[in-house]
């Protein structure tokens, strides 16, 4: 029963709609009605600016990181990455926002931050370098995921390989429209980097 409670708690933490909260509380705006309509950090950056975008990014990362420590808190023998996976599902399909959530990038990164700090640094580095070159957040997120898979394979940490691969599948699937727009040269580029 406690295993179910921890998994449910992870999903609920992941479901906290940071972008919606920041937008409504500090700007009086529902960001789902602006930009891409997405609750994630990228749409927050574009709709509300750098401060709001940074706050949502940090909050979404922390949602993932916190859940990795739930098994230790409750003294359960369950892999922390499995628990973190449910936070990412909660972020994508949040019960608190009619199951319309973000694209899984920051919360996935947060889970990996809680599990392997070096991997998190690798992901951030790959993301920022790709973003500097391409100016596409979606492409940068996907490239970072590829680096995550390579890193996990080098470590031969098979639970990590499986979860990072699952995160990459989520990210690619959630960015499929962005990839089409990149192909059609209609995807907006970031202007702040």
Which of 174, 176, 177, 167 has the alpha carbon at shortest distance from 147?
A: 167
pLDDT of 1 reads: 85
Q: What is the pLDDT of residues 111-146, one digit of tens each?
A: 999 999 999 999 999 999 999 999 999 999 999 999
CA dihedral (79, 147, 192, 90) positive or negative: negative
The residue extents of the domains of the chain are 2-94+102-183
pLDDT of 39 reads: 83
pLDDT of 95 reads: 96
From the number of C-beta atoms within 10 Å of its C-beta (0-12, 13-18, 19+), residue 160 rates as buried
- Give the chain's residues under pLDDT 70: 192-193
pLDDT of 46 reads: 86
Q: What is the pLDDT of residues 72-83, one digit of tens each?
A: 999 999 999 999
Q: What pTM value is reported for the model?
A: 0.93
Question: Following DSSP, what letter does each residue of 164-188 receive, concatenated?
Answer: HHHHHHHHHHHTHHHHHHHHTT-SP
pLDDT of 183 reads: 93
pLDDT of 192 reads: 65
Cα–Cα distances (Å) from 1 to 66, 76, 86, 98, 181, in that order, read 21, 11, 16, 26, 45
Query: Which residues make Cβ contacts (< 8 Å) with residue 105, sequence separation at least 6?
Result: 40, 41, 141, 171
């Amino acid at each position: 029963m406690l295993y179910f409670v921890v998994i449910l708690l992870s999903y609920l933490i992941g479901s906290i709609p940071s972008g919606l909260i920041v937008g409504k509380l500090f700007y009086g705006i529902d960001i789902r009605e602006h930009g891409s309509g997405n609750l994630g950090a990228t749409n927050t950056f574009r709709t509300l600016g750098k401060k709001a975008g940074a706050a949502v990014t940090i909050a979404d990362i922390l949602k993932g990181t916190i859940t990795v420590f739930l098994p230790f808190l409750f003294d359960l023998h369950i892999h922390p990455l499995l628990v973190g996976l449910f936070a990412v599902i909660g972020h994508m399909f949040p019960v608190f926002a009619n199951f319309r959530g973000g694209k899984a990038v920051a919360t996935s990164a947060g889970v990996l931050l809680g599990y392997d700090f070096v991997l998190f640094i690798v992901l951030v580095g790959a993301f920022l370098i790709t973003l500097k070159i391409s100016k596409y957040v979606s492409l940068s997120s996907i490239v970072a995921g590829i680096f995550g898979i390579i890193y996990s394979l080098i470590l031969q940490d098979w639970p990590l390989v499986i979860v990072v691969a699952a995160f990459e599948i989520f990210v690619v699937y959630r960015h499929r429209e962005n990839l089409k727009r990149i192909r059609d040269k209609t995807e907006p580029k970031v202007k702040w980097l």
